[in-house]
A and B are shown apart, each in its own frame.
Chain A
């Protein structure tokens, strides 16, 4: 046992050799105990954290009749069935919801990333009068709580006759100010020499943005796209009030109706909860790093 155990991460120890033998022994033992206790505590809590999801999954694979009997019946039932998922897909609403959530999330992510990166390019790379004021507005915009603007946004959309269209969900979510901030910070770190070389070779500003800056920024573009997608997919407040046509409902709004209309069909309800989350779980498994780092970055900055 070396002192490696007490240190976070996987770096090999270079201290143990220099450490007094008596000390090293003591640290080693306590380090080992600490590791074991840490793992036990973490595993216990991780299981607690996984139980609700696993219970929902188990319920969704149980017959509605059994699920109605309660938790004990669900946990002791060993006749899994895909009936709830099948009935969800047959009823058809879920396809409309997926379509609405998919379309609004993808288009919002594309527009946000495209427009915000253009704005960030101007703020980071171009020198013009009004640049500092514009940047100040961006910083102020970060503090505006958009949820609180739901009533005036509804009114705006009403005037524009956009209520009950996908655009009513897309447009208000495009000005994600934090995205401009994140892009600008990244662009600021790209050396000016590359841009100047391209300009001397005859590239105009659009070409610098499109063919030089954007390709260099793929990781941050991906991170912001994914986070915007997740944010729009999960948004309840906006679509709840601007979409009243059942055929246009996004997943969260559709699920809100499931809660009230399904009554005691618990297996079906849990199948709906899982179907709503499924695309995001898949997305997380593919883009784990981008999502975790993106969430961290926007949390620290936003």
Chain B
């Protein structure tokens, strides 16, 4: 896919691809690259090591110890006890289940609606900016704003949601977020509204890639709009769709903000998710070791999906090459 470039590559197209690397021995200009290279890498490298690699290693180490928030040392060695505890704790599995539930609720609408909105927006000749604004703007707003708006929309009995339900002749009940069976649906609705714009712009970028000549040829052959979408757009956006689904799974595994702000994991623990469990175990129970074990498990799942994504990307790139 040719739009899979850095953002600015779309703004300014650099004039030519870089020429072949110059052999070190030939060019006197290359002498001393080594020292400069490390100097240029150093500032970023320090932050990378201290705040990315360091914490990753510390997390893995602490997961084998009874580390607590109260003491600065690692605490006594625990072996696999933290892992055994997490893997047998019902709230760990329920948090994982809620994360899966969230993924199942949000992925289909986020993929299907974003696809439809993008395809239609791409075909509309006037006012594209308006649809871009309507669908994309929520995505760049803070989760706190989104949560305050939706908690208010979902206010039991008097909120906008209840008002609409009443207008449609339904009984509003005691509020979508207050009921353990529907609270996650409420969070999912807010999330779809919030993040659809991301998939929307990814699909719009994918659509730019489809050669217009395909549609023109199809139109000459008498293909209707519907057949053009069905037989040209849909298959050619397959790669974007896989990407969108994988990114959505990764984002779902990391969900925290909306849950924390809208329900705090409640009612009860009905919307508690993995990262909520991690932070609760660490910052409320002061049990860094156990929280680290849960973090490592979550880390492994997310990296596994990210690796699948990379492999998929490579394979797709090879197929197209």
Interfacial residues, chain A to chain B (CB-CB below 8 A): 3, 5-11, 15, 18-19, 23, 26-27, 30-31, 34-35, 38-39, 41-42, 45-47, 49-53, 55-56, 59, 69-72, 75, 111, 114-116, 118-119, 121-123, 126-131, 134, 137, 141-156, 158-159, 171-172, 174-175, 177, 180-183, 185-186, 188-193, 196, 199-200, 205, 209, 217, 219-221, 223-224, 230, 233-234, 236-237, 240-241, 251-252, 255-256, 258-259, 266, 269-270, 272-274, 276-277, 280-281, 283-284, 288-301
Contact = CB atoms under 8 A, between A and B. Distances in A.
Given A6-B228, A116-B44, A300-B202, A276 B260 contact: no
Pairs A-B, 6 closest by C-beta atoms: A70-B158, A189-B14, A220-B8, A297-B7, A122-B40, A152-B55
A27 B220 CA distance: 9
Contact of A38 (B4, B62, B120): B120
A53 B121 CA distance: 21
A177 B6 contact: no
Of B149, B205, B261, B310, the most chain A CB neighbours within 10 A belong to: B149
B1 to A, nearest CB: 8
B54 to A, nearest CB: 6
Interface of B: 1, 3-19, 21-22, 24, 29-30, 33-34, 36-38, 40-41, 43-45, 47-48, 50-52, 54-56, 58-59, 62, 72, 113, 116-117, 120-125, 129-132, 134-145, 147-153, 155, 157-160, 162-163, 193, 196, 198, 201-202, 204-205, 207, 212, 215-216, 219-220, 222, 224-226, 228, 243, 247, 250, 253-254, 256-257, 260-261, 275, 278-279, 282-283, 288, 291-292, 295, 298-299, 302-303, 306-307, 310
21 contacts: A6-B123, A15-B216, A49-B193, A118-B40, A119-B40, A127-B30, A145-B302, A148-B254, A152-B55, A155-B288, A175-B48, A181-B6, A185-B5, A185-B9, A188-B14, A236-B143, A237-B275, A259-B151, A292-B136, A300-B5, A300-B205
Contact of B41 (A6, A34, A118): A118
Contact of B215 (A6, A71, A186): A6
Chain B contact surface mostly: helix
Nearest to A198: B29
A107 to B, nearest CB: 13
Given A3-B219, A118-B44, A127-B30, A143 B8 contact: no
B279 A52 contact: no
